[in-house]
Chain A
């Protein structure tokens, strides 16, 4: 992506200077300033303009941290352009800072020559103190390497909404719409969809709708007037080339929710979702609670354990049980996962990973629950693990998790992370007619010689699903070791050996039903394979493209099926001299690959709570091939 708003560019955007291919904008303000909302609406407008995009909402764990403080800053970054966009962008071209704290915590990320838009009205003595500035950075020349546009957004907003007679506090809450109006002008966007959205949002309070629309229009008008002087200029980015079709934006949490609904429909089942509020996973429970017409029952349980146990109960009774959480909650669910493995009931467990251990970084992203997903239970307790690589990919992954769960009578873990859950990207709306169904059949009559054999396995090692309420098929299941076929309590040595082997073989066999591992970018053999999983997809794929453009022999492999691994992955990796595994943990997938294939996989790790930048991975590739 180009550095687009550098000082070297000519002041007039039309004609003389080429338009940038991509722009990165970061909105930063107090957690009460509505930055996530501003970012979300700007994202929508970007999508409607036909640009490709990726976003990165980055907010504190506190809901309303004390105003003006450094730790209370909430930011939303969006990368958009006329070419394919895979990441939220390494460094912003534009930083909108609503107060001194927002400036201080974000300005170092800004590209040299980038543009700062600051609300000078908030640069008061008190706010400067809270941000630990001795002197206002707007005055002391410390921002010299950037362009600074500072104006009193607060006063301008108050002026714009004056006719509506709002109180000072309410009037100032329109600041984010003023800012959005300015941003819309900067990138030549249509205001109409936003105005309609505000009318809908404040349907019950038309005065607030009018005030916000007035603020939006005023910000837009300010851009038009301000263009005459200073570095603020208008840019028009052409739509990105995309395959024709219907598009919408989707966050990972939305995509998971929709994928689960689709998955249950494809299985021909009702869905039961047991959840317990936890950041950043709660959005899935919120979404599904509004989709009852799709045969979804949601249950806010008393704790994480009850959430998974209720889902297991629902699966036992013949629905598709689903539960969702983040790392700490998944840890609590561990014992119940073992019960689902032991009783061989279908279950989908979604883990929206966050920084850990313990409470860790509730609102920041990490990929550090891979060991937990693959290995984190007592006993030999294998279960399939799938990882989504992007918000849109999470839709297909959720369907895949449902398919494996019901076809193999097993719990399945779907890994996303805080970044995927919150980030939005354009999504080509899929046509459900094109999805392959996987209808479930329940046992209807005795499968033994006049007896029910609840654990009689088919050729794939899968037991029948028997709904309680079915006449004549009464039987008992439980977490205690069971006899072959019968399910009666039996923990004799030979039986435990045989059942452990059978459980392992069944899960290993899932790989026969999953696609062979492909190569995303580059050749199927060569000097270096960069092997990723989950949300590192964007930066890896861009970094590999750039490295290849420089003539480096490098390929990108991105693994969706973390367990069991694709059957051809070992052979594929053997075709490369070196293997590099970038991941947002201390090297967990690297260890799995080494263990499974005795391959000398090298780690590239990051645990700052922030996604990889393209540059970081590009540098690591160069290092490996030096």
Chain B
């Protein structure tokens, strides 16, 4: 179901190593920050994709995550708070051959830049969006963010936050996204998720849970910690049943309530338990998966939804090309368009 993006839009696949994607810049994240793991995963994945540094552009907004472009040896643009999607749209329309990776965070992409995130997804600009969700404002020293859970104590919410958090994947689906995936910083599956995003022709939205060890330490530990991972992570895979807890549990449809439910799987007989087989093109199930509350449900991870549709830049540039067909672009003719008249040397003689 995936239209394959040409691996290197400017030409053939390029052979690189992780080292080729490192810059001479000193990385300035806090020691132990989840961003390091994400950076390494990206630098490890790009050579596997055969990506070409010369045709790759990392575009970011503002925040801890948005320093990312400075650390990747490709083209990079560290823009302003929340506006990376708009800048990326201009880049892609000006040169659709460029492969764009958008790096943003929960504050940058869901708060100040929420509007741009929505419209980029709605338009379906062909790019990869990595939203680092750490449920906190790190770079401004720990204020609560639009994804912080109710009760988050922070400098601006000393008594605990009272507003309900946004769900980035639900937001993305609601905006019309055609690719939704989830992973977490230190998870070994992050690379595979990024590869799937890369191969999706269109806007690919990846929420990456990222541990801010200074201001929101271990906020995802209840599903990322090794001891609890099996019981609380549901890795969905196209064509495979939605099983977790080493196959002892699964996700089924509660037909009466039209919701998902967790079911026990006895002796591996998931069919008997009516466990759902994951279909990445099923938008309804995708909605249910990203809305399912963590706790009663495991955290759904992996490629949750992937159903490509024509991209924005193809539509715009295709229409432009059609409009140009057979038309000349003679500036002199354009300037003299409309009703004109000539003035002679003696008196005027209307044309």
What separation, in Å, do the CA atoms of A429 and B340 have in the docked complex? 9
> A478 near B87 (CB under 8 angstroms)?
no
> A432 near B90 (CB under 8 angstroms)?
no
Q: What is the distance, in angstroms, from A238's C-beta to the closest C-beta of chain B? A: 8
> A272 near B90 (CB under 8 angstroms)?
yes
B interface footprint on A114-158 (CB within 8 Å = 1, 0 otherwise): 000000000000000000000000000000000000000000000
Contact of A293 among B23, B28, B324 (CB under 8 A): B324
- With a CB–CB cut-off of 8 A, which chain A residues contact B327? 293
- With a CB–CB cut-off of 8 A, which chain A residues contact B116? 302, 305-306, 309
What separation, in Å, do the CA atoms of A262 and B336 have in the docked complex? 13
Known: A335-B80, A469-B55. A246 touches B336 (CB 8 A): yes
8 Å CB interface, B44-96 against A: 53-55, 57, 59, 62, 69-70, 73-80, 83, 85-95
Q: Pick the interface stretch among A11-19, A30-38, A42-50.
A: A42-50
- With a CB–CB cut-off of 8 A, which chain A residues contact B351? 48
Residues of B within 8 Å of A, CB-based: how many?
65
- With a CB–CB cut-off of 8 A, which chain A residues contact B90? 272, 274, 299, 309-317, 321
Interface presence of A489 (CB below 8 A): yes
> B89 near A50 (CB under 8 angstroms)?
no
> B78 near A476 (CB under 8 angstroms)?
yes
The residue on B at minimum CB distance from A270 is B94
8 Å CB interface, A467-505 against B: 467-480, 488-489
What separation, in Å, do the CA atoms of A197 and B339 have in the docked complex? 10
Interface presence of A339 (CB below 8 A): yes
Interface presence of B311 (CB below 8 A): no
- With a CB–CB cut-off of 8 A, which chain B residues contact A240? 348
Q: What is the distance, in angstroms, from A113's C-beta to the closest C-beta of chain B? A: 30
8 Å CB interface, A253-278 against B: 258, 261-262, 265, 270, 272, 274
Q: What is the distance, in angstroms, from A274's C-beta to the closest C-beta of chain B? A: 6
The residue on B at minimum CB distance from A44 is B339
What separation, in Å, do the CA atoms of A244 and B97 have in the docked complex? 49
Interface presence of A190 (CB below 8 A): yes
What separation, in Å, do the CA atoms of A18 and B116 have in the docked complex? 64
Contact of A475 among B76, B86, B338 (CB under 8 A): B76
The residue on A at minimum CB distance from B320 is A292
Interface presence of B98 (CB below 8 A): yes
A interface footprint on B300-319 (CB within 8 Å = 1, 0 otherwise): 00000000000000001100
Q: What is the distance, in angstroms, from B171's C-beta to the closest C-beta of chain A? A: 15
Interface presence of B239 (CB below 8 A): no
> B339 near A310 (CB under 8 angstroms)?
no
Interface presence of B25 (CB below 8 A): yes
What separation, in Å, do the CA atoms of A190 and B341 have in the docked complex? 13
What separation, in Å, do the CA atoms of A25 and B74 have in the docked complex? 63
- With a CB–CB cut-off of 8 A, which chain B residues contact A193? 339
Interface presence of A245 (CB below 8 A): yes
What separation, in Å, do the CA atoms of A74 and B19 have in the docked complex? 67
What separation, in Å, do the CA atoms of A626 and B154 have in the docked complex? 68
Contact of A317 among B73, B95, B317 (CB under 8 A): B95
Known: A48-B350, A50-B343, A468-B75. A316 touches B331 (CB 8 A): no
> B334 near A258 (CB under 8 angstroms)?
yes
Q: What is the distance, in angstroms, from B117's C-beta to the closest C-beta of chain A? A: 10
The residue on B at minimum CB distance from A254 is B338
- With a CB–CB cut-off of 8 A, which chain B residues contact A262? 331, 335
Interface presence of A303 (CB below 8 A): yes
What separation, in Å, do the CA atoms of A310 and B79 have in the docked complex? 11
B interface footprint on A417-460 (CB within 8 Å = 1, 0 otherwise): 00000000000011111000000000000000000000000000
- With a CB–CB cut-off of 8 A, which chain B residues contact A239? 343, 347-348
Interface presence of A301 (CB below 8 A): yes
What separation, in Å, do the CA atoms of A272 and B83 have in the docked complex? 17
A interface footprint on B90-109 (CB within 8 Å = 1, 0 otherwise): 11111101100000000000
> A339 near B80 (CB under 8 angstroms)?
yes
Interface presence of A3 (CB below 8 A): no
Contact of B350 among A50, A242, A258, A430 (CB under 8 A): A50
Contact of A429 among B69, B78, B83, B335 (CB under 8 A): B335
> A292 near B324 (CB under 8 angstroms)?
yes
> A310 near B86 (CB under 8 angstroms)?
yes
Interface presence of B1 (CB below 8 A): no
Interface presence of B328 (CB below 8 A): yes
- With a CB–CB cut-off of 8 A, which chain B residues contact A476? 23, 25, 69-70, 75-78
Contact of A50 among B75, B87, B119, B348 (CB under 8 A): B348
What separation, in Å, do the CA atoms of A249 and B337 have in the docked complex? 10
> A297 near B331 (CB under 8 angstroms)?
no
> B79 near A429 (CB under 8 angstroms)?
no
> B343 near A294 (CB under 8 angstroms)?
no
What separation, in Å, do the CA atoms of A229 and B55 have in the docked complex? 79
What separation, in Å, do the CA atoms of A479 and B78 have in the docked complex? 7
What separation, in Å, do the CA atoms of A479 and B87 have in the docked complex? 13
Contact of B115 among A49, A302, A429 (CB under 8 A): A302
> B328 near A243 (CB under 8 angstroms)?
no
A interface footprint on B319-331 (CB within 8 Å = 1, 0 otherwise): 0100110011101
Q: What is the distance, in angstroms, from B27's C-beta to the closest C-beta of chain A? A: 11
What separation, in Å, do the CA atoms of A336 and B86 have in the docked complex? 11
> B86 near A306 (CB under 8 angstroms)?
yes
Interface presence of A318 (CB below 8 A): yes
The residue on B at minimum CB distance from A291 is B334
> A430 near B95 (CB under 8 angstroms)?
no
> A489 near B25 (CB under 8 angstroms)?
yes
Q: What is the distance, in angstroms, from B121's C-beta to the closest C-beta of chain A? A: 11
Q: What is the distance, in angstroms, from A547's C-beta to the closest C-beta of chain B? A: 30
What separation, in Å, do the CA atoms of A240 and B73 have in the docked complex? 65
- With a CB–CB cut-off of 8 A, which chain A residues contact B320? 292, 297
8 Å CB interface, A279-310 against B: 291-295, 297, 299, 301-303, 305-307, 309-310
Known: A248-B339, A272-B90, A317-B90. A474 touches B53 (CB 8 A): yes
Contact of B87 among A243, A310, A469 (CB under 8 A): A310
Contact of B54 among A302, A310, A472, A489 (CB under 8 A): A472
- With a CB–CB cut-off of 8 A, which chain B residues contact A470? 54
Contact of A478 among B78, B324, B328, B338 (CB under 8 A): B78
Interface presence of A176 (CB below 8 A): no
Interface presence of B10 (CB below 8 A): yes
Interface presence of A187 (CB below 8 A): no
Interface presence of A363 (CB below 8 A): no
- With a CB–CB cut-off of 8 A, which chain B residues contact A48? 339, 341, 350-351
> A299 near B76 (CB under 8 angstroms)?
no
Interface presence of A222 (CB below 8 A): no
Interface presence of A247 (CB below 8 A): yes
- With a CB–CB cut-off of 8 A, which chain B residues contact A351? none
A interface footprint on B157-174 (CB within 8 Å = 1, 0 otherwise): 000000000000000000
What separation, in Å, do the CA atoms of A394 and B93 have in the docked complex? 28
Interface presence of A319 (CB below 8 A): yes
Contact of A245 among B316, B337, B342 (CB under 8 A): B342
Contact of A314 among B74, B91, B119 (CB under 8 A): B91
Known: A291-B334, A430-B335, A477-B78. A336 touches B324 (CB 8 A): no
What separation, in Å, do the CA atoms of A197 and B338 have in the docked complex? 11
What separation, in Å, do the CA atoms of A613 and B323 have in the docked complex? 45
- With a CB–CB cut-off of 8 A, which chain A residues contact B118? 302
Interface presence of B332 (CB below 8 A): yes
Q: What is the distance, in angstroms, from B79's C-beta to the closest C-beta of chain A? A: 6
> B338 near A469 (CB under 8 angstroms)?
no
What separation, in Å, do the CA atoms of A297 and B95 have in the docked complex? 12
> A319 near B94 (CB under 8 angstroms)?
yes
What separation, in Å, do the CA atoms of A317 and B25 have in the docked complex? 23
What separation, in Å, do the CA atoms of A302 and B69 have in the docked complex? 25
16 contacts between A and B (CB under 8 A): A239-B347, A244-B345, A248-B336, A248-B340, A249-B339, A272-B93, A306-B85, A307-B86, A309-B83, A312-B90, A317-B94, A432-B331, A475-B76, A476-B75, A480-B78, A488-B24
16 other A-B residue contacts (CB within 8 Å) besides A248-B339, A248-B340: A48-B339, A50-B347, A190-B350, A239-B347, A245-B342, A246-B340, A294-B331, A317-B98, A321-B90, A429-B340, A430-B335, A431-B332, A468-B98, A473-B54, A476-B23, A478-B77
